[in-house]
């Protein structure tokens, strides 16, 4: 049998498409492309730093220890799921949703299996809750930083406005997953295994430093990236599982590059074409959130954020609610889906995109509705 050509990998295909879009934008509208790049670069730098910190924390056993501790706390699947909701929400808020799905998906799958528990609620819950829990801090989601360029808020000021919408979105999404996957939750007969002990060192210190930086200062991308680089460099120098190839894999450099190119291209389009801005000016806060959610399914949340926030949006926080919760609709919505699929398969699970989307179709309109309502209570923008 004659050997055929190797199939093109999706990550490199995305990188090529993004690069083509970037080149086209620079050639057609160089000033608009430069403005879009200036708006978009910091979120990508920040997420790279947070992924590096997550890699070091994972190497220290922090996530595995949290999972084993969670499994040891209760004999009932519903309570175990509630604990996983809390874990995912905390990791997403502090270390970004991409870090959450990349490192917590295998932890939660193994936690469920170690207790003789059905894994679907934990598998799909990790994805949907990571998107839903990304509303709290600027660094929780790249889209937050893209839109917040117009608001000039510190992390603390942003959290003061978004804590209630964040909480409501998490609770509603968790309820949809728990009810939809209720057959995989129930009393656990298996005794918990030994609780693993993490190394409380570089990873924990980096997490604390990154969280403080994101909350206190407005432009946290470069400082957080520096923390991630230093932490990863110290771990590579020591040797072990953190290697340069592992860092390349975790960062997903081709995917990040492709998304950055697409974001700059659509950001330039949003500056050159007044259509998106005019449309948003005629939409209410509720309609803005709904439109943004649909846009994420069409072009991904990062390019959608770059285009819709190319000019100052009338309802920026409602826009963010749609951009952050909308990706739960389908696989095209966010980078988190791609990281989740890879992590789930590495853990031996068989994630169903159709099953995840069915849960998302129920969760997205409900979570958006309660989050926008809650935003009115905290004062909005």
Per-residue pLDDT in tens (0 to 9) along the chain, 381 residues: 444 555 567 788 889 999 999 999 999 999 999 999 998 998 899 989 999 999 999 999 999 888 888 877 776 788 889 999 999 999 999 999 999 999 999 999 988 887 666 789 999 999 999 999 999 999 899 899 899 877 878 888 999 999 999 999 999 999 999 999 998 886 665 555 566 778 888 999 999 999 999 888 878 899 999 999 999 999 998 877 889 999 998 898 998 899 899 999 999 999 999 999 999 999 999 999 999 999 999 999 999 999 999 999 999 999 999 999 999 999 999 989 989 998 999 888 999 999 999 999 999 999 999 999 999 998 765
Model pLDDT, residue 151: 82
Total-model pTM: 0.89
Residue 349 lies in a domain: yes
Q: Are 364 and 293 in contact (CB under 8 A)?
A: yes
Predicted pLDDT of residue 3 = 47
CA 278, distance to chain mean position in Å, is 29
Q: Is residue 22 part of a domain?
A: no
Do residues 189 and 116 touch, judged by C-beta distance below 8 A? Answer: yes
Q: Per the domain annotation, does 236 fall within a domain?
A: yes
Instruction: Say which residue the tokens 């270390």 belong to.
Output: 95
What is the predicted pLDDT for the residue at 64? 87
Tokens of 167: 């909480």
Q: Is 33 helix (H, G, I), strand (E, B) or coil?
A: helix
Q: What pLDDT was estimated at residue 18?
A: 92
Are 72 and 192 a contacting pair, CB within 8 Å?
yes
Three-class HEC string of 238-296: HCCCCCHHHHHHHHCHHHHHHHHHHHHHHHHHHHHCCHHHHHHHCCCHHHHHHHHHHHH
Give the count of alpha carbons within 13 A of 290, CB side only: 10
Q: Residue 188 contacts by C-beta under 8 Å, 6 or more apart in sequence?
A: 74, 75, 76, 77, 80, 115, 116, 117
- 162, containing H or E segment: helix 155-180
Cα atoms in the Cβ-side hemisphere of radius 13 Å centred on 214: 32
- The pLDDT, as a whole number, for residue 218 is 78
On whether residue 187 sits in a domain, the answer given is yes
Domain that holds residue 339: 30-378
Contact at 8 Å (CB) between 139 and 97?
A: no
Q: Indicate whether 6 belongs to any domain.
A: no
Q: What is the pLDDT of residue 219?
A: 81
| 282 assigned to some structural domain | yes
Rg from Cα positions in the chain: 20
11 lies in some domain: no
Distance CA 48, CA 259 (A): 13
Overall number of domains in the chain: 1
pLDDT (0 to 100) of residue 155: 86
The Cα 235–Cα 202 span in angstroms is 9
- 381: DSSP letter: -
Q: Which residue has the tokens 């951009």?
A: 323
pLDDT at 334: 93
Q: Is 13 domain-assigned?
A: no
Neighbouring C-beta atoms of residue 333, cutoff 10 Å = 27
């Amino acid at each position: 049998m004659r050997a055929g050509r190797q199939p093109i990998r999706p990550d490199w295909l995305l990188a090529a498409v993004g690069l083509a879009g970037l080149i086209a934008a620079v050639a057609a509208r160089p000033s608009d492309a430069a403005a879009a790049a200036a708006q978009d670069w910091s979120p990508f730098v920040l997420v790279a730093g947070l992924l590096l910190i997550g890699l070091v924390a994972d190497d220290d056993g922090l996530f595995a220890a949290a999972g084993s501790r969670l499994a040891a706390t209760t004999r009932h699947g519903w309570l175990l799921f509630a604990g996983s909701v809390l874990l995912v929400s905390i990791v997403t808020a502090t270390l970004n949703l991409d870090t959450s799905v990349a490192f917590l998906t295998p932890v939660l799958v193994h936690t469920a299996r170690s207790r003789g528990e059905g894994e679907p609620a934990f598998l799909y819950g990790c994805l949907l809750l990571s998107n839903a829990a990304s509303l709290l801090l600027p660094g929780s989601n790249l889209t937050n930083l893209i839109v917040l360029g117009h608001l000039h808020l510190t992390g603390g000021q942003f959290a003061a406005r978004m804590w209630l919408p964040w909480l409501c979105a998490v609770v509603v999404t968790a309820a949809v997953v728990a009810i939809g996957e209720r057959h995989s939750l129930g009393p656990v007969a298996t005794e918990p295994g030994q609780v693993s002990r993490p190394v409380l060192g570089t990873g924990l210190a980096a997490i604390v430093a990154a969280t403080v930086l994101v909350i206190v200062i407005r432009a946290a991308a470069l400082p957080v990236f520096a923390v991630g680089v230093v932490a990863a460099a110290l771990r590579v120098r020591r040797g072990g599982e953190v290697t340069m190839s592992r860092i390349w894999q975790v960062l997903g450099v081709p995917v990040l590059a492709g998304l950055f190119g697409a974001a700059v291209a659509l950001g330039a389009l949003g500056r050159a074409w007044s259509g998106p801005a005019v449309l948003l000016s005629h939409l209410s806060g509720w309609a803005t959130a709904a439109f943004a959610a649909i846009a994420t399914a069409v072009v991904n949340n990062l390019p959608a954020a770059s285009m819709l926030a190319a000019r100052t949006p009338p309802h920026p926080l409602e826009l963010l609610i749609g951009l952050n919760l909308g990706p739960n609709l389908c696989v095209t919505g966010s980078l988190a889906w791609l990281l989740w699929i890879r992590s789930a398969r590495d853990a031996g699970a068989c994630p169903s995109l159709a099953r995840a989307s069915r849960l998302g179709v129920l969760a997205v309109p409900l979570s958006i509705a309660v989050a926008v309502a809650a935003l009115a209570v905290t004062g909005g923008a």
